[in-house]
Structure 1
Amino acid sequence: MRLRALFRAGLATTAAVGSLATAAVVAPTAQAATGNLQITKVVVNGGQDIVLGTAVKSVTVTATISEDSGLKAVWMHLEQRSGDNLRFDVHGLATCSGTGTVKTCSRTFTFDPRSDVIYNSLAGRNGWWAYVQVEAQDGDYASGDFPSVGLRRQTALTMDAGPEPVRKGTTLTASGRLTAANWDTNTWTALSGQSVQLQYCTYPCTGYTTVRTVTTNSTGYLKASLTASADGYWRWYYPATTWAQPRISNADFVDVR
């Protein structure tokens, strides 16, 4: 088991707080507890996967803690692990509120894709954990690992359908392009080999139907040709994998005459 950061009264509180450095202070075993102190709930990013583009994003970890005395210190980590290999870690002291036995503590971390510690292979749901460690005023202690949401690469998807207008019974062509934030280069790059659904809604639109599934080419482009039958809206829908953000393109209305 890797080393944990353990904050106690009298230790320096500024060094490495909120940094990306790996903690180097020995801590008790995860899931340990003494007294009646309990960590009853931990939520990362409101329970939604973290979607990260090429700009800085704030991510909040919130813990609900049951304890009959005051809290001395609450330390939080948000990390990604592969076996014993710690691949990503942000950590720091949380801020707490609540005067009864139930306290709410939170810490907001900064994800900066321009740094060299965030790269494409971190995307997905596997290996992401929140670690919370709590000390109470009466000496009670609790710590544990809690499942976290995943990290997804932000996507963009365009749609163009035409010609406009188009004669009934002739060919209508839908095209578009799928791209995603690339944290290795801090740019937007094509997503190739991805299945994207072409959806249609007859005017007046009450609901879309998938009419074809298309795979993006090596440069992320999509193209499909169909027979024009009636006025309606066309769009692309990318359901995504666990490492990318699902995306619906703009809807393009085509007048069929």
Structure 2
Amino acid sequence: MRKRVSAAVATGALALTGLAVPAATAAPAAEEIKLSNIKVNGGKDVLIGTGNKKFTITFDASHSANIQADPTIVGWRALNDLLPNEFGRDHCKVVSDTKSSCTATFNVNPQNYDIENSEAGSWKTEVYIVSTDYESTLDKDNIKSFKVLRAAKLTANASPEPIKKGKTLTITGALTRANWDTYKYGGYTSQPVKLQFQKKGTTTWSTVKTIKSDGRGNLKTTVKAERDGSFRYVFAGTSTTPAVNSSADAVDVR
């Protein structure tokens, strides 16, 4: 279970104690620890399939006395949803007298860590940092939100090849995504997928039509063969699954 000690609780207790102290003797506010260049997975969504997925949470921390080398950095979604830190502790390297560069490494595998399909979506980053002079503390529930998504695959195959001009071309494929409950890829059903065409010798893709994946995630549609080029399927993604394109399949029209 995810348990935190809130800085607000400690601060509140000190505030109550401070009621009995004259304002003139109140201690000055502690210097703020400042964070910058915060990135999760290099700024990209974290896509988890059925095997290992390694990613990092990085940031710079500044303070006149610098910060301790072992802050707590956690990826979390809800009370019981935590992403494991691979090394058990987080490390910050000194880059100047007042600045450190911090990196926490995570290695997630649905087969050896209890992450379920229902946990795909938006996650948060909690940090707890103390300055080297113990005068300042940073305790935040979220310094950066990020997405943890179920990795997806998309295929496309045009046939027959080669084909005579004007004949019917069939493009099949499949849209699948990682199932964190079964540790396998399964069909992503009833999802809109675009069929796109690229004329040979060009770099531009144009949408031919939009179809939906069937009850098993399969795709199938037909078009008239008119010119040489390539076909592909394109999926825009959802709140739990990333966008993905199939490989292009070239067609020789004779």
Shared fold by TM > 0.5?
A: yes
Would the aligned equivalents of 1:79 and 1:90 in 2 still touch at CA under 8 Å?
Answer: no
1:216 corresponds to: 213
Would the aligned equivalents of 2:35 and 2:60 in 1 still touch at CA under 8 Å?
Answer: yes
Q: Deviations over 1:181-218 (max 9, x none)?
A: 11010011111011111000111132110101010000
Q: Deviations over 1:227-253 (max 9, x none)?
A: 111111111111111211211111111
Would the aligned equivalents of 2:193 and 2:210 in 1 still touch at CA under 8 Å?
Answer: yes
* TM score, norm. by length of structure 2: 0.84
The equivalent position to 2:43 in structure 1, one of 41, 47, 55, is: 47
Q: Distance in 2 between matches of 1:237 and 1:55?
A: 24
1:62 corresponds to: 58
Q: Return the letter of the residue paired with 1:26.
A: V
Would the aligned equivalents of 2:121 and 2:148 in 1 still touch at CA under 8 Å?
Answer: yes
Q: Percent identity?
A: 31
Alignment of 1:28-39 (within 5 A): 28-29=7-8, 34-39=30-35
1:94 corresponds to: 90
Count matched residues. Answer: 230
Would the aligned equivalents of 2:83 and 2:108 in 1 still touch at CA under 8 Å?
Answer: no
> Is 1:133 aligned with 2:128?
yes
Q: Return the letter of the residue paired with 2:127.
A: V
2:248 corresponds to: 251
Q: Return the letter of the residue paired with 1:29.
A: A
> Is 1:168 aligned with 2:165?
yes
> Is 1:237 aligned with 2:237?
no
The gaps in structure 2 that reach 5 residues or longer are 12-28
Instruction: Assess, with a 3 A threshold, how the Cα gap between structure 1 residues 166 and 45 changes in structure 2: closer, same or farther.
Output: same
Higher normalized strand content (fraction of residues): 1
Would the aligned equivalents of 1:76 and 1:130 in 2 still touch at CA under 8 Å?
Answer: yes
> Is 1:106 aligned with 2:103?
yes
The equivalent position to 2:189 in structure 1, one of 192, 195, 213, is: 192
Secondary structure in 2 matching 1:71:
coil
Would the aligned equivalents of 2:6 and 2:139 in 1 still touch at CA under 8 Å?
Answer: no
Q: CA RMSD in A?
A: 1.9
Q: Distance in 2 between matches of 1:143 and 1:40?
A: 15
Alignment of 1:113-124 (within 5 A): 113-115=110-112, 117-124=114-121
Q: Return the letter of the residue paired with 1:28.
A: A
Q: Distance in 2 between matches of 1:51 and 1:204?
A: 33
* TM score, norm. by length of structure 1: 0.83
**How many Å apart are 1:86 and its aligned residue?**
3.6
Q: Deviations over 1:71-92 (max 9, x none)?
A: 23411111012xxx44334355
The equivalent position to 2:2 in structure 1, one of 19, 22, 30, is: 22
Instruction: Assess, with a 3 A threshold, how the Cα gap between structure 1 residues 232 and 40 changes in structure 2: closer, same or farther.
Output: closer
Q: Distance in 2 between matches of 1:29 and 1:63?
A: 23
Secondary structure in 2 matching 1:188:
strand
Q: Return the letter of the residue paired with 1:52.
A: I
Higher normalized helix content (fraction of residues): 2
Q: Return the letter of the residue paired with 2:54.
A: S
> Is 1:143 aligned with 2:139?
yes
Q: Return the letter of the residue paired with 1:62.
A: T
